Amino acid sequence: MKEILSNVRDAARKLALLSPGSRNTFLECFAEKINLNRELLLNANQLDLKKNGANLSSVLLSRLKLDDVKLNQIIDGIRDVVKLPDPIGKLLAKTELDTGLILDKVSVPIGVLAIIFESRPDVIPQILSLALKSGNGVVLKGGSEATETNQAFIKIVREVENKLSDFPSGWATLIEGRESVFEVLNYPEYIDLVIPRGSNALVKSIMEKSQIPVMGHSDGICHVYVHRSAEPKEALRIILDSKAQYPAVCNATETVLIDQVIAKTFLPELVILANENKIELLGCKNCQMFDPKISAVENWSTEYGDLRMAIKIVEGPKEAVEHINLYSSHHTDVILANDQEIIESFLQQVDSASVFANCSSRFSDGYRYGFGAEVGVSTGKLHARGPVGLEGLLTYKYIMRGSGQVVKDYVGKEAKKFTHRIFS
């Protein structure tokens, strides 16, 4: 393992020095070769489907399945990444410390990423293109059900590498087996960032065991708070979208908090909406007093991920904010209200990556935010927070160009003064 990772590190250092043009050329060839090798890819995918068909639910099988429509999307996706502006070498700040002593802050790739992802074969080309665009090496661990398909994609990567002279070989490597994931976490000297996607339990255990920074989220426990000033019809429409538009994803809402002042009128309407849309409601004791058919909530930190939804009656904005700051996974939380003062105070006080007023929690997503490409959603507060675009795969370095300056001249009684002139 050590040797594999050390090779990726070396290749990544070379990758970072290539011109934007040659990274884009690689991506164009990659898209082209995927187009030319449809049969190879579909055959590999058929092998995966045959091996795992008996053990997977129909939902998982349809996710695993590759077809021409998905391949078209993959190819378009890579070409979209080519079109994004080059993120490397951006001048982030420029300061003159003194005449002839100029400090630049410049964006650079992070280095080597370890990405653990689920069994969707469309994910691997997406990750490969984002990593390459941002100049990072990658160690990939895909779902075991997609082994053949993933290997076929990596085979195409190798072919493109061979075709393009000067392109460092081995900047992307596939590892297999769950144990190998945990082994990787012990090599901070070779891996700079771990991005886990997949089941909450896996992500949680990676976050606990890793010696390397981890970017991502284990839970998506999002809230909608309906303030007494909210317009009820609009509130119901937004709640329905937040919960039911795609209940399995992390930005779907798990808990609705209802202002006690409107509970008597709003709760019956919410019950009707839930029944119409097959949403099962679980509630606090007060909710159960309104409607005994509502079963009790066991744990306010549950991510249902399906058509179950928790509801709670709260005294007012203060209790709503407290409940959210305590139970939210700090992903996305929403207030529905018309009172501007209440809205602004909620937006300030809720300590989550994304805080919304009067729209669906489902907008919390890199594509919808306009990032062009999404690396993932981070519920951590360091480096990147919320939906993360290509920017999240970059860091910066300070480059100083001097002309013989030494610190001694800037110290003591006759010290030279720094100019600290900031260039716009």
Of residues 107-126, which lie at the interface with a second copy (CB under 8 A)? 110-111
| 278 lines the binding site for a second copy (CB under 8 A) | no
Q: Give me the half-sphere count of Cα atoms (radius 13 Å) on the Cβ side of residue 404.
A: 0
| In the complex, minimum distance from the CB of residue 1 to a second copy, in angstroms, rounded to a whole number | 19
| In the complex, minimum distance from the CB of residue 345 to a second copy, in angstroms, rounded to a whole number | 8
Return the closest-CA partner of residue 304 out of 280, 286, 330, 285: 280
| 37 lines the binding site for a second copy (CB under 8 A) | no
| In the complex, minimum distance from the CB of residue 155 to a second copy, in angstroms, rounded to a whole number | 30
Among 72, 399, 415, 423, binds a second copy (CB under 8 A): 399
How many residues contact a second copy, by CB under 8 A?
72
Which of these ranges, 43-51, 67-75, 266-274, 414-422, lies near a second copy under the rule CB under 8 A?
414-422
State the residue for tokens 């970017």. 215
| 94 lines the binding site for a second copy (CB under 8 A) | no
Token pair for 142: 């895909």
| 369 lines the binding site for a second copy (CB under 8 A) | yes
| 236 lines the binding site for a second copy (CB under 8 A) | no
Alpha helices in 37-110 (DSSP H): 38-52, 58-64, 68-83
Binding positions for a second copy, 318-357, rule CB under 8 A: 325, 343, 347-349, 351-357
Provide the angle, in degrees to the nearest 10, between the axes of the packed helices 260-276 and 232-244. 50
Binding positions for a second copy, 246-265, rule CB under 8 A: 246
| In the complex, minimum distance from the CB of residue 203 to a second copy, in angstroms, rounded to a whole number | 14
First to last CA, the chain: 46
Token pair for 226: 């309906």
Give dist(CA 279, CA 69) in Å, integer.
32
Which of these ranges, 69-77, 143-151, 154-162, 231-239, lies near a second copy under the rule CB under 8 A?
231-239
Which of these ranges, 165-173, 262-270, 284-292, 389-397, lies near a second copy under the rule CB under 8 A?
389-397
| 370 lines the binding site for a second copy (CB under 8 A) | yes
Binding positions for a second copy, 279-308, rule CB under 8 A: none
Binding positions for a second copy, 8-27, rule CB under 8 A: 13, 16-17
State the residue for tokens 């076929």. 152
| 360 lines the binding site for a second copy (CB under 8 A) | yes
Within 8 A by CB and 6+ apart from 278, the residues are 307
Cβ pair 184, 193 in contact under 8 A: no
Cβ pair 396, 92 in contact under 8 A: yes
Report residue 187 CA to chain centroid gap: 23
| 40 lines the binding site for a second copy (CB under 8 A) | no
Q: Which amino acid is at 352?
A: S
| 60 lines the binding site for a second copy (CB under 8 A) | no
Among 264, 285, 318, 381, binds a second copy (CB under 8 A): 381
Binding positions for a second copy, 190-209, rule CB under 8 A: 192-193, 207-208
| 272 lines the binding site for a second copy (CB under 8 A) | no
| In the complex, minimum distance from the CB of residue 424 to a second copy, in angstroms, rounded to a whole number | 13
| In the complex, minimum distance from the CB of residue 305 to a second copy, in angstroms, rounded to a whole number | 17
Among 83, 292, 404, 424, binds a second copy (CB under 8 A): 404
Within 8 A by CB and 6+ apart from 257, the residues are 223, 224, 225, 226, 311, 312, 313, 314, 319, 320, 323, 324
Which of these ranges, 27-35, 93-101, 269-277, 289-297, lies near a second copy under the rule CB under 8 A?
93-101
| In the complex, minimum distance from the CB of residue 208 to a second copy, in angstroms, rounded to a whole number | 6
Return the closest-CA partner of residue 394 out of 197, 131, 115, 140: 131
Give dist(CA 173, CA 253) in Å, integer.
36
DSSP per position, 138-203: EEEE--GGGHHHHHHHHHHHHHHHHHSTTPPTTSEEE--SHHHHHHHTT-TTT--EEEE-S-HHHH
| In the complex, minimum distance from the CB of residue 213 to a second copy, in angstroms, rounded to a whole number | 5
| 84 lines the binding site for a second copy (CB under 8 A) | no
Which of these ranges, 79-87, 113-121, 154-162, 367-375, lies near a second copy under the rule CB under 8 A?
367-375
Among 293, 383, 416, 423, binds a second copy (CB under 8 A): 383
Residue 23 burial by Cβ neighbours in a 10 Å radius (0-12, 13-18, 19+)? buried
Among 272, 395, 415, 416, binds a second copy (CB under 8 A): 395
